[in-house]
Structure 1
Amino acid sequence: MDFTFTEEQQAAVEAARAIFSDIAPDGVPSPALVRGAVAQDIDRPLWARLAAGDLLNLTLPPEHGGAGLDLVALCLVLRESAKMLARVPLLETCAVAMAIGRYGAPEFAAELLPLVGRGESVLTVGANGRSGHDPAELAVTARRASHAAGPGQWENGPGGWVLDGVQSGVPWARAADWIAVPAATEDGRAVIALVRPSLEGVTLAEQVSTNGEPFAEVRLDSVCTGSSTLIEEAGAWEWLRSLLTTGTCARALGLGEAVLAMTSEYTGKREQFGFPIATFQAVAVQAADRYIDLRAMEVTLWQAAWRLSAGAGGALPVEADIAVAKIWASEGVRRVVQTAQHLHGGLGADTDYPLHRFHAWAKQVELSLGPAAAHEEALGDLLAAYPLG
């Protein structure tokens, strides 16, 4: 069986590398690595270049101007973005757009997705629930409105819904044009509501993430939204969450690869007793272990992304592959940055050196959408439900 990437996927990687290299040409650090306060808005020039390079419409359906590629292609681009700590909501926007293209109302998709592909609309998603420990869809309730809130508007169209609840830790909420909010209906179904942050009843409270970038607590108080902006199809939220988790694993891989390359360069130049410390066995063994972590992160990522994209069958549901990928991503990226800090010594804690930023991003990625322990529990439940042999 041939596991090489397709020509289209390889072309996406080359385009991504060209665009991301522009934000940090040789000798010039990435804006995300410059000492000082973290930006409070997305990198708009980079967002525009991603749109111009056809990377925002990479996974959009062809009928909406997209390239129609799969999650594997998106993960390849996310991997490159993480190497530069790119401050753009690439994962959130593309994942929500894919869900709208697959499950959303045709008229809403036809209106919104071309805007996404041109970089004119930013999407995000509340996937952490109220506290980050309970299922996100249980943090918000959705009930049918007793009467239409107003004719002719997506937000307020006939057959509308009313949303109440809180989603915490929503990335780039203030910069987003639409927020995908998972919610539970009165009969216990999980749905996805697309709401504008400017809607009456939507309140954003500032939160700061581990890596210093802006998050928000999104509070919904009797927010009215139209039926065309609510995705009711069974399995839609679970599919979107799987996209987000797998994309997070891709970001962990790219981040870890950048950190290991930084560590390799440093240990190859740093000398003690007249020799580069990279030649010392204790250093070489630690670096080799982290290389093994990265390769395990990579193979489990592509297994999950491929199965999710192809709908391939197996002895266990695809959720098992996603859980395995997230376990390796969470533990692997943590070990990579810890080893990097150790081998860099005091320099690793110097805020003039970029490693501290990568460390903060790694911790954010590690805990995003559940740490390793949460996915180990989920994997255990799946193994119990689907005994092998």
Structure 2
Amino acid sequence: MDFTFSEEQQAVVEAARAVFAPVAPDGVPSPALTSGAVADDFDRALWAKAAGADLLSLLIAPDYGGAGLDAIALCLVLREAGKVLARVPLLEHSAAAATVQAHARPEVRQRLLPDAGRGETVLTVASAGRTGHDTADLAVTARRAPEAGGGDRGDRDNGSDWVLDGMQTAVPWAWNADRIVVPAHTPEGATVLALLPGPATEVRGRTLAEQISTTGERLAELRLEGARVASDDVIEDPAAWPLLHALLTTGTCALALGLGERVLAMTSDYASKREQFGHPIATFQAVAVQAADRYIDLRAMEVTLWQAAWRLASGAAGQLPLAGDVAVAKTWASDGVRRVVQTAQHLHGGFGADTDYPLHRYHAWAKQLELALGPAAAHEEALGDLLATHSLG
């Protein structure tokens, strides 16, 4: 079996490196040094460069001006973005666009996707639930609006608006997005996705409250109290939310991998130059063993990521559903990225705790990614349930 990346995927990596390599993570203030968000907006200049390199349209079909590539290509780009802590909504935007393409109505696809591919329409996703630890699709309810003029025939009227009630916390990039994809559950127990307009468009019953992430980025608490969404802007396909959730999770693992690889490279460079007792500390067995353990973590993060991304991209059947491969990738990414940055801070000594040193920002981002992925123990439990349900015999 050939495990090498295709020519198209390798070309995407080269394009991503050209866009992200010049980014200097130490050019953004450490969250520990600011009283609020590190910036009011994401990096618009970098966003424009990514759009110019066609990195925002990777998963969009050529019919809508995109590259027509798959989740593996997206993860390759996110890996490069994670290495420099790129402050752009690439993951949320790409996952939302792919979901719209796969499951939205044709007129919605035609209206949103060309502009999304050019970066002119920015998409994000509310996926953290009420607290960040519960299921996002149960945090908001969605029901058909009653017909104008009385008489509630909304459940039978497919042209009715939808009414949303509930709350989603820690919505990334919400203050600057043009559309916020909000998962919600209906009275019948189905999950729909509402394409809610961003804050630049007034929506009655929608309020945003500022939150600051561990990374110092500006998040939003999204509250919905009878907020109406047009029927065309609601995706009712039951397969839409599982796809969106899998793309977000797998992409987060890719960001964690890129971040971890850069941190290990920083640690290797420091340990090879920092001397004690007349020798570089990299030559000490205790240091070398710790670095080797973290290298093993990264290789495990990598192989489980590509397994999940391949299953997601190909739709290949397996003995376990896709959720099993995603759970394994999440387990390694959540624990692995934490161990990598902790070891890096330890081996850097005093520099590891210096908020002016770039490693501090990497630690903050790693903690945010770990929180987004959730505890490894929970994923192991989920994997155990899947193994119990789907016999491997």
TM-score, scaled to structure 1: 0.95
Structure 1 residue runs without a partner (length 5+): 150-156
2:262 paired with 1:261: no
In the TM superposition, residue 33 of structure 1 has moved relative to its aligned partner by 6.2
8 Å CA contact 1:32–1:87 kept in 2: the answer is: no
Moved over 4 A (4+): 33-36
Counterpart of 1:98, as a letter, is: A
In the TM superposition, residue 248 of structure 1 has moved relative to its aligned partner by 0.3
Counterpart of 2:104, as a letter, is: G
- What is the aligned counterpart of 2:325 among 297, 314, 321? 321
The residue aligned with 1:153 is none
Report the Cα distance in structure 2 between the residues aligned to 1:370 and 1:105, rounded to whole angstroms.
33
Counterpart of 2:62, as a letter, is: P
8 Å CA contact 1:32–1:85 kept in 2: the answer is: no
How many residues are matched? Answer: 378
8 Å CA contact 2:30–2:216 kept in 1: the answer is: no
In the TM superposition, residue 328 of structure 1 has moved relative to its aligned partner by 0.2
For residues 218-297 of structure 1, the aligned pairs below 5 Å read 218-297=222-301
Counterpart of 2:11, as a letter, is: A
The residue aligned with 2:27 is 31
Report the Cα distance in structure 1 between the residues aligned to 2:374 and 2:161, rounded to whole angstroms.
32
8 Å CA contact 1:30–1:84 kept in 2: the answer is: no
Report the Cα distance in structure 2 between the residues aligned to 1:118 and 1:195, rounded to whole angstroms.
20
The residue aligned with 2:154 is none
For residues 72-151 of structure 1, the aligned pairs below 5 Å read 72-147=72-147
In the TM superposition, residue 227 of structure 1 has moved relative to its aligned partner by 1.4
Structure 2 residue runs without a partner (length 5+): 150-157
8 Å CA contact 1:140–1:183 kept in 2: the answer is: yes
8 Å CA contact 2:13–2:77 kept in 1: the answer is: yes
Report the Cα distance in structure 2 between the residues aligned to 1:33 and 1:169, rounded to whole angstroms.
21
Aligned to 1:22, the other structure's residue is in SS state coil
In the TM superposition, residue 98 of structure 1 has moved relative to its aligned partner by 0.3
1:109-142: CA deviations, max 9, x gaps? 1111111111111111111111122211111000
TM-score, scaled to structure 2: 0.94
Closer/same/farther in 2, CA of residues 17 and 183 from structure 1, 3 Å limit: same
8 Å CA contact 2:170–2:221 kept in 1: the answer is: yes
The residue aligned with 1:182 is 183
In the TM superposition, residue 146 of structure 1 has moved relative to its aligned partner by 1.0
The residue aligned with 1:164 is 165
Report the Cα distance in structure 1 between the residues aligned to 2:10 and 2:327, rounded to whole angstroms.
26
Counterpart of 1:344, as a letter, is: H
In the TM superposition, residue 30 of structure 1 has moved relative to its aligned partner by 4.9
- What is the aligned counterpart of 1:360 among 357, 361, 364? 364
8 Å CA contact 2:30–2:361 kept in 1: the answer is: no
Report the Cα distance in structure 2 between the residues aligned to 1:372 and 1:188, rounded to whole angstroms.
28
Closer/same/farther in 2, CA of residues 7 and 375 from structure 1, 3 Å limit: same
The residue aligned with 2:53 is 53
Superposed CA RMSD in Å reads: 1.5
8 Å CA contact 1:169–1:215 kept in 2: the answer is: yes
Closer/same/farther in 2, CA of residues 347 and 369 from structure 1, 3 Å limit: closer
For residues 200-215 of structure 1, the aligned pairs below 5 Å read 200-215=204-219
